[in-house]
Structure formats: C-alpha cells, structure tokens
Chain A
Amino acid sequence: SQQGEEDPQALSIQEGENATMNCSYKTSINNLQWYRQNSGRGLVHLILIRSNEREKHSGRLRVTLDTSKKSSSLLITASRAADTASYFCATDTNTGKLIFGQGTTLQVKP
C-alpha cells in the first residue's frame, strides 16, 4: 500500500507563479524526501528533510514537515517551464526502503 499521498494529482500554472504540492503519510518516519521525474525517466533527488526538522530550503525549493499531522509540502517559487515534471514524496522509516506516493504532475506554461 502507498505510504504517501500527494495532492493535487495535477497542477497547471504560469511561468513565474509559485507551485505548492502536499504529501501525507501514515506511519512514523526517519526522513522524507522529494524527487522529480521528467517524462518517465530516472528520479532526481531534490531535498531530504529529517523527522526532527520542520523546514528546509534549497534554491527555489522550500520543504516543510509537520510530523504531528504526518504531512509535508514542497513549494517551488518563481516556477520555470523547465520545472514541468512529476514530483514524488518518499518516506523512509529508517529501513532504507523508500515508500513513494502517486506523485503530482506539474505543468508550467511559458
């Protein structure tokens, strides 16, 4: 069964706008990771946030984690056409086994 559930399933925005994706999970975690996937190719690691962290930034990315609500959000600011991709959250319960959600498909229109 899926641990993570992303919301929304699909998102379409204009270039320059911000994109927010949410992820909810079911069990306690060691860390949560966000990945990007272009056109069914390999996954690109974006950011890892540990269970004792609440917020993390990397360039135009901002990730938050609320362990009490078992949820995380990924914010992409000032989006670009090149950000068009599928985004997945994945949780790790310290077994090294990543459990992925269904993903959010983001389309950024030029």
Chain B
Amino acid sequence: ETGVTQSPTHLIKTRGQQVTLRCSSQSGHNTVSWYQQALGQGPQFIFQYYREEENGRGNFPPRFSGLQFPNYSSELNVNALELDDSALYLCASSLDLAGGPDTQYFGPGTRLTVL
C-alpha cells in the first residue's frame, strides 16, 4: 500500500459534462502529480502541484485543471468531456526537497469512461 487513495474508483460520464476526481496524498508529501493512462499506453503527465501552486504542465488543454489543498488532498477537474478523455487517471504524491522531487507513490487510479 502506498498510502495514496483516489475516489471514485470508476466513473461514467457523457460527452460535454464536467468531472472532478479526488486524491489523498501521503501525509507530509508536498507534491502531487496527475497522469492520464489510455488503454494499452504508458501514463502521460498532465500537471503537478507543489505547495498548492501549479508547478509544471504536460501537453493537455486548459479544460484540465487542478487544485491542491493544505490537508494533502487534491482534485483534477475536466470540463467539456470528450470521448478521448476515457482513461485511467492516476495521482502520485512525493516529497520535493531541495534536490527536487523523488520517488512518486501512485494511487490506485480512477477509471473514467466518457460515452
């Protein structure tokens, strides 16, 4: 067990809707990263939050947004859902020290299906 939890486990939405996915990081971890994993592919980096500020973003449009809270929880929000957003969404927490972030610990993921 990594100590990282995600909710919900599964989610079904229709095209055009909005969705919020939640993650609870390991206690003491100041960094959370979100990844999208399409079926049969490796995870793709969406963005990272460090001490509640966005700290790097991958090649994802602005309709993907996030929040990180002081209580080690975070959210990934996706607006105007598209069929291609169907994927496993993974969050990962880590501790960023002066030398940069280290091992990332992943949650079990949220499986999002867009119909």
Cross-chain contact B104 with A45 (CB below 8 angstroms): yes
Number of interface residues of B (CB under 8 A): 33
Q: How far is the CB of B12 from chain A (nearest CB, A)?
A: 16
With an 8 A cutoff between CB atoms, is A43 at the interface? Answer: yes
Given contacts A96-B101, A97-B58, A98-B104, contact A43 B43 (CB under 8 A): yes
With an 8 A cutoff between CB atoms, is B14 at the interface? Answer: no
Cross-chain contact A97 with B48 (CB below 8 angstroms): yes
Cross-chain contact B45 with A99 (CB below 8 angstroms): yes
With an 8 A cutoff between CB atoms, is B71 at the interface? Answer: no
Number of interface residues of A (CB under 8 A): 25
Please, which residues of chain B bring their CB within 8 A of the CB of A99?
45
- For chain B residues 90-113, which have a beta carbon within 8 Å of chain A? 90, 92, 94, 96, 100-109, 111
Q: Is the interface of B mostly helix, strand, loop or mixed?
A: strand
With an 8 A cutoff between CB atoms, is A82 at the interface? Answer: no
Q: How far is the CA of A94 from the CA of B101 in the complex (A)?
A: 7
Q: How far is the CB of A104 from chain B (nearest CB, A)?
A: 10
Q: How far is the CA of A40 from the CA of B9 in the complex (A)?
A: 12
Given contacts A35-B106, A102-B41, A103-B42, contact A42 B90 (CB under 8 A): yes
Given contacts A48-B102, A94-B100, A96-B101, contact A102 B42 (CB under 8 A): yes
Cross-chain contact A96 with B42 (CB below 8 angstroms): no
With an 8 A cutoff between CB atoms, is B65 at the interface? Answer: no
